[in-house]
Structures are given as C-alpha cells and as structure tokens.
Amino acid sequence: MGIFTKVPGTRKGKFRAYLFGFFICTSGFLFGYDTGIVGGVLTLKSYKNDFGFKDNTTVSAVMVSSQNAGAFIAALSVFAISERFGRRYTIMAAMALFSIGVILQVIPSHSLACFYVGRVISGLGLGAGTAVSPSYNAEMAPKEIRGMLGSGMQWLFALGVMISYWIDYGVANGLPVSSKQWQIPVGLQLVPAAVLGLGLIGCKESVRWLAKKERYDEAWDSLCWIRGDHGPGVQAEFNEIRVGLAEEFRATEGLQSRELLEPANRYRLSLAFGIFLGQQCTGMTALAYFAPQFFKVLVGGGTQNLLITGLFGAEKFIMVGTYILFFSEKWNRRPTLYISAVLMACCFVIVNVVNKTTVPPKNNQATSAGIATVAMVFLTNSIYQFSWGPLPWPYAAEIFPTRIREVGTSVGVSTQWLFNFLFSLVTPYMIKAWGSYTFTFYAILDLTMATLVFLFLKETKGRSIEDMENIFHSKAAFDVELARKQGIEKEVESPGEEIGVRELKNE
C-alpha cells in the first residue's frame, strides 16, 4: 500500500518514477505558496504603507481573485498549446510567464494597478502549469502508483502553504516595517518557478503524447528512460499504449467538438468539473487563503493568529504526506470522498455552534472555547488532506483517454480556478458579514458534494489509463489485459515496429 506498493520493473525505474512524479508537482507547490502568502502579506503594515489603501476587504478579494481569474483563463485554453507543443515545453513556457508576473509584483511601483497586473500574468502561468502537470504526470506514471504521484500535487501544495505561512510569520516578527518585509515572501516565488522550468530541460516528453504524434522512437526512449529498463514488461506496456491509441483513433477519427458530447466523454467531463468544484466547496481552499482572518474570528487578532496559521500549514503538510505515502493506493477513491465530506460538515457545524454559544475573545486573548474551535478546524483540515485535497488531481487526469485528456484536465483544473476565483472573491465579505456562520455555509456545501459523489462517481483505483474506456463504456473500449498478455508473449524486435490491433486481437 502507498509507498510500499509493489511496482514492476527495476529499482532504478521505481526511483525515477517517484522522483519525476513529485518533481512535476512543483507547480502544486507554487499554487500552495501563493495561496499561503496572500493572507499574511495583507496583515503587514509595510504592504499597507507602500500601497496606501484603507479598504482591506476589497484589496483582499481583488488581490486573490485577480490571479485566480488569469489562472482560470489559462487552464481552460492551454490544452491547445499542450496538444501542439507537448507537455514539457508548455510547462516551461508557463513558468517563464509566471516569473514575469512575480517580477511585476515585487518592483517598487507603489501602484496597486501594477501589482494586480502582475497577479493576472502570474495567474496565467500558474493556471497553465497546474492544468498540464497532472496530465504529464499521469501519462508517465506506472499505474500501480499513479494515484500517489498524482496526489503529489496536493502534497506539494501543502508544503508551499506551510512554508509561506512561516515566511509570513518570520518577516512579520523578524524584519522592520519596510518594503522588504512583503517583497521577500512575494519574490521567493521565483525560486520554485525556476527550479521547475529549468529542471524540465533534463526530462523526457510524455510517452503517450509522443506516441499520439506517431513519434514512436522518441516515445520508446521516453518510456525506457522513466522505467529505467527496456525489457519485456516495458515492451508490453509500450504495446498497450500503442493499441490503446490506435483503438481511440479508429473509434473517433478526427477530433471534433461533438466528440466531447458523446455519453462517455460527457460523463467524464461532468465528473472532472464536479470533483474540482467539490474541492472548492469544502471551504478548505478559502481557509488556506484567509487563514489569519478566519483564526482572528475564533481567537482574536495579534500575532497569535499568524502563529496558529503557521501550525495549520505544518499540519496540512504532514497529514497529506501521510495519506499519499501510506494510504493513497489502499483506499478506494469514491468512499473516501463522500465519507470525508460528511465528517467535514459535522466539524464545521460544531465550530460555528461553539463559537456562537461561548464568550468571544477579548483584548486579543484566546478563550478555551476559541482554542477548542481551532482544534476542530485542525481536525477538519486533516480529514481534507486525506481526501478532497489530493484526490481530485489524479482522478481528473486518469479518467480521460489520451485523445481528449488535454481538454478533460483543462476543464477540471479550470473549474478549480473558476470557483477558487469566486470563493476567494466573496469569502472576505462573508467573514466580515457572517463571522463564524461562514463555516455553516461550507458545511452545507460539503453535504451536497457527499451526496453527488455517492450517486455519480466511478471508482478508478488500480485501473490502467487504457482500461478507463471499459469503466465508462466508451466506443473505444478494448481488451487491455489481452493486449498486455500477448504483447509480453510476442517478441518485439524493434519498439518502432507497427503493432496491429487485429493481430493483437487474433482477428
């Protein structure tokens, strides 16, 4: 299970699969880091002094939502670029664009307009990177650990959030009030962007993308590189990929928009949309953005809410790491999602009830009831990190055939950014107007998503990408196991040799 899951092939191949899978999830780290710094930066006097604003609620909403708007546009449209130029080059270009946006944010312009423009530009790069990375990861990962590696997006997201919280806490307490106090946490985003963009120079392009473009020799080299082997098992996997692509192409030659409306594909698009919508409806992303503001409601202001936010980020990283390493390939996707949604709803209701029936904090001094509600929020966070946090990323990437994976993952990730934008825009106003009733609002959404998952979600754990056609009863469904078995028995003299579908099916 998890980190102990047996992966066929060499030790080198297993190590390389883990290394590449978690490395490509650096885009998730960027997402998390940016998510975490926002709330803390907005509490700094240096930021308020440099930009001269008084309406903190509006600036909070626009600061977050402007980047999310750019990310939504990029995530929805990047599939065409990824399809033409490949996953690798698309992510590298996205990181370059993201870096330009960060530079515009940290220059001493003292202009909110310039800062917002930088947020939109960096959002375009971030949205493109987070939309393409899950596909790239899924297309390179062994099926035995695909869920774990795909969930790495959330683990690296949590790591980014945790580090950003502590950096905010460090500059707030360790640096004098000056421009550097907010420029340092914002500017540090350039480091992981450079690591991912430049690090991809030494990596191979997606196996399935290369095979789809009929660049079979390159596809074979890429598969051998990521598996660290070129033996019969790798040959069989290559044959399976070739057969799967051939069947997809034969079933629906000439990708057209109406193909997306076929029942199987329409269902999958709805699932990708719904599962990322559900991730935002849990309320935990809004809590990640505005954690200092949420904890201020529960325990009062001062630096203690930043300290609690830092501990909140540390718990987030530890919990999602525990899930990914030990439980991600043991627990089925569907029950994990609907059970956890019910549990989170219960926790949020308890937080609101306790907060409304006890004495509120005075003079920024936390009460025992306030500490209890914080503990309940931490418990909710743990449940989220074992479910809705990591699972949507691999699920949305694995349910689509290669033929429409760019479109499908773009729809899913753009949904995440769209509702990220909406909730980040309205949450500051909800906190101001409703206080702790905001938790009840998200509890209702959690119960709604639990019901929808129970009724409509398909189970995909342990199934190959090619086998998804059988799960969703697609016109391109075929016998994957037969293709794999006969691919192993057939001695392939050259990996570039044409593998006929009829031959593999004994037709």
Q: Taking all residues of the chain, what is their mean pLDDT, rounded to a whole number?
A: 83
Q: What is the DSSP letter of 261?
A: G
Q: Give the total number of structural domains in the chain.
A: 1
| Percent of the residues in the chain that have a pLDDT greater than 90, as a whole number | 34
Residue 141 identity = A
Question: Is residue 392 over pLDDT 70?
Answer: yes
Report the pLDDT value the prediction gives residue 57, as an integer from 0 to 100. Answer: 80
For 499: left if phi > 0, alpha if psi spans -120 to 50, otherwise beta; the answer is beta
- Is residue 358 helix, strand or coil? coil
Return the structure tokens found at 435: 């206080």
Question: Is residue 104 over pLDDT 60?
Answer: yes
pLDDT digits (tens, 9 = 90+) for 239-283: 888 887 777 666 555 556 666 677 778 888 999 999 999 999 998
pLDDT band for position 2 (cuts 50, 70, 90) = low
User: Of 10-14, 136-140, 244-248, 455-459, which range is least confident?
Assistant: 244-248
Within 86-174, where are the H helices?
87-106, 112-140, 146-174
336/338 Cα distance (integer angstroms): 6
Torsion of CA 58, 275, 402, 252, to 10 degrees: -110
Report the pLDDT value the prediction gives residue 402, as an integer from 0 to 100. Answer: 67
Report the pLDDT value the prediction gives residue 256, as an integer from 0 to 100. Answer: 60
**Mean pLDDT in residue range 222-236:** 90
263/469 Cα distance (integer angstroms): 12
Which domain covers residue 384, as residue numbers?
A: 8-471
- Of the two residues 260 and 311, the one the predictor is more confident about is 311
Kindly state whether residue 329 falls inside one of the protein's structural domains. yes
Kindly state whether residue 153 falls inside one of the protein's structural domains. yes
Question: Is residue 151 over pLDDT 80?
Answer: no
**Mean pLDDT in residue range 342-359:** 91
113, exposed or middle or buried, with CB in 10 Å at 0-12, 13-18, 19+? exposed
Report the pLDDT value the prediction gives residue 110, as an integer from 0 to 100. Answer: 86
Return the structure tokens found at 380: 């909710």
Query: Which residues are bridge partners to 365 per DSSP?
Result: 362
Report the pLDDT value the prediction gives residue 163, as an integer from 0 to 100. Answer: 93
Kindly state whether residue 499 falls inside one of the protein's structural domains. no
Kindly state whether residue 493 falls inside one of the protein's structural domains. no
Report the pLDDT value the prediction gives residue 301, as an integer from 0 to 100. Answer: 61
Say which CATH number the domain at 339 has.
1.20.1250.20
Question: Is residue 349 over pLDDT 60?
Answer: yes
Report the pLDDT value the prediction gives residue 61, as an integer from 0 to 100. Answer: 82
Query: Which residues are bridge partners to 362 per DSSP?
Result: 365
Return the structure tokens found at 66: 């402007």
CB neighbour list of residue 54: distance below 8 Å, 6 or more residues apart: none
Report the pLDDT value the prediction gives residue 397, as an integer from 0 to 100. Answer: 77
**Rg of the Cα atoms in the chain:** 23
Report the pLDDT value the prediction gives residue 418, as an integer from 0 to 100. Answer: 85
Q: Per residue in 215-228, is it b (16+ CB within 10 Å) or e — as a string?
A: bbebbbbbbbbbbb
Query: Is residue 344 within 8 Å of residue 386, measured between CB atoms?
Result: no
**Mean pLDDT in residue range 132-155:** 84
pLDDT digits (tens, 9 = 90+) for 16-65: 988 999 899 999 999 889 888 887 888 788 998 998 888 878 887 888 78
Kindly state whether residue 492 falls inside one of the protein's structural domains. no
Return the structure tokens found at 505: 């099916």
**Mean pLDDT in residue range 313-342:** 88
Within 86-111, where are the H helices?
87-106
User: Of 104-118, 280-294, 334-348, which range is least confident?
Assistant: 280-294
- Is residue 340 helix, strand or coil? helix
Kindly state whether residue 489 falls inside one of the protein's structural domains. no
pLDDT band for position 95 (cuts 50, 70, 90) = very high
In the chain, what's the furthest Cα-to-Cα distance? 80
- Of the two residues 147 and 37, the one the predictor is more confident about is 37
**Mean pLDDT in residue range 474-482:** 49
246/197 Cα distance (integer angstroms): 32
**Mean pLDDT in residue range 497-503:** 44
Query: Is residue 98 within 8 Å of residue 186, measured between CB atoms?
Result: no
Kindly state whether residue 497 falls inside one of the protein's structural domains. no
pLDDT digits (tens, 9 = 90+) for 51-65: 888 887 888 788 878
Q: What is the DSSP letter of 258?
A: G
Within 188-303, where are the H helices?
190-199, 207-212, 216-227, 232-251, 263-281, 284-289, 291-299
Kindly state whether residue 501 falls inside one of the protein's structural domains. no
